[in-house]
Amino acid sequence: MIETYTRTLPHGISLSCRAVGEPGRPVLMFLHGFPEAAFVWDFHLAYFARPENGGYRCIAPNLRGFADSSAPADVSAYRPKHLVQDIAALIALETQAQGDQLAALVAHDWGGAVAWNLANQLPELAQKLVIINSPHPGTFLRELQNNPEQQAASAYMNFLIRPDAEDLLAQDDYRRLWEFLTLGPNGVTAPTWLNDEVKAQYREVWQSGLRGGCNLYRASPLRPASAQDPAATGVSISMELLTVNLPTLVIWALDDIALPPGLIDGLDLYVKQLTLHTVPNASHWIVHEQPQQIAALIGSFLS
């Protein structure tokens, strides 16, 4: 049974959460991306809470700006340092019985951007890190600066920073967002996971507001350059801010049209304890497409 609640953090932000499992057990925390929300982890919350799969306390917060979490109006409030602050504070509240440390932080898409930064800055908050199709900032910056394929694949980011992006995304019953979820390497598909029940969950999240999600893109310079904005071409990140020393599992679906597999080339330069598992015939939405496969890979890594 999924428990829902809201945590108000010491710095005033509130995060709505979904959780399964007995409080006091080792904690797994799951971070979602855009245009999603915490509900995308429901299968995995229930899976890892079962005694035979570790009996974890499993928690998935909605990031700031999503669903019922706080949604500051200022774009600068969505810079990575603030998102990391949110998750660090939530970890502190949720792991008091576990030495203030997660058993693992699991993240996809924008959740992964938060997780990579947290693992660099506050590695003591988690024993392990799991990343699913979320580029490491070092390889992402390299590809945005040098690889035309990645620049083209990320062109949608410059749409999402438009001042009218939220209004355009909401048009025609969120037509553009549905296309975002169904566009594969061979064109628009009708994925079996996107049934009426799941669509209703997405609509509920999107109706609560899209500005927070778009503000993530507005607040980050890691996007293709345009005539008006140098974006990634003007960014330099020191190695000190890119190194991750946690044991890390990266699961990469190879048919991700927004995040080509060039992003995992050279990943071991930044992640010293890296386990990399690639999955053919899977898209950016692998969490939905192959939940059992994701659970098995994470379970093996945790054990």
Whether residue 301 is predicted with pLDDT greater than 70 in this model: the reply is yes
Give the structural domain span for 265: 3-302
Q: What is the pLDDT of residue 228?
A: 86
Kindly report which listed range (167-176, 183-192, 223-232, 282-291) carries the lowest average pLDDT score: 183-192
The region of weakest confidence among 41-55, 176-190, 201-215 is: 176-190
What is residue 79's predicted lDDT score, i.e. its pLDDT?
Answer: 97
User: What's the pLDDT score for residue 286?
Assistant: 97
- Which pLDDT score, from 0 to 100, does residue 195 have? 95
Report the alpha-carbon distance of residue 290 to residue 293 in Å, rounded: 5
Give the number of domains in the chain: 1
* Closest to 59 (Cα-Cα) out of 74, 73, 70, 48: 48
190 has pLDDT over 90: no
Question: Domain with 151 in it: what CATH number?
Answer: 3.40.50.1820
User: What is the average pLDDT across 140-155?
Assistant: 96
Contact 45, 78 (CB under 8 A): no
Q: Cα 216 to the chain's mean position, in Å? A: 11
Helix (H) or strand (E) holding 5: strand 3-8
Report pTM: 0.97
State what percent of residues in the chain have pLDDT above 70.
99
Check residue 244 and report its DSSP letter.
B
Number of other CB atoms surrounding residue 281 within 10 Å:
11
* pLDDT bracket for residue 187 (50, 70, 90): low
Distance CA 250, CA 253 (A): 10
271 φ, ψ (degrees, to nearest 5): -115, 105
Cα(69)–Cα(160) distance, rounded to whole angstroms? Answer: 21
Question: What average pLDDT does the segment 103-132 reach?
Answer: 98
Q: What is the mean pLDDT of residues 137-154?
A: 97
Task: Specify the pLDDT at position 273.
Answer: 98
Q: Which residue carries 């799941």 as its tokens?
A: 198
pLDDT tier for residue 24 given thresholds of 50, 70 and 90: very high
Q: Per-residue pLDDT for 188 more than 70?
A: no
Provide φ and ψ at 207, rounded to 5°.
-65, -25
Task: Specify the pLDDT at position 184.
Answer: 73
Question: Would the pLDDT of 119 be above 80?
Answer: yes
pLDDT in tens, 235-281: 999 999 999 999 999 999 999 999 999 999 999 999 999 999 999 99
- pLDDT of 116 higher than 80: yes
- DSSP assignment letter at 271: B
Q: What is residue 64's predicted lDDT score, i.e. its pLDDT?
A: 98
* Residue 133 clears pLDDT 70, i.e. is over it: yes
Edge-first strand listing for the sheet containing 274-279: 3-8, 14-20, 57-61, 27-31, 104-108, 129-132, 248-253, 274-279
Can you tell me the distance from the alpha carbon of 121 to that of 117, in angstroms, rounded to the nearest whole number? 6
CA distance 180 to 128: 30
Backbone angles phi, psi at 35, to 5 degrees: -100, 55
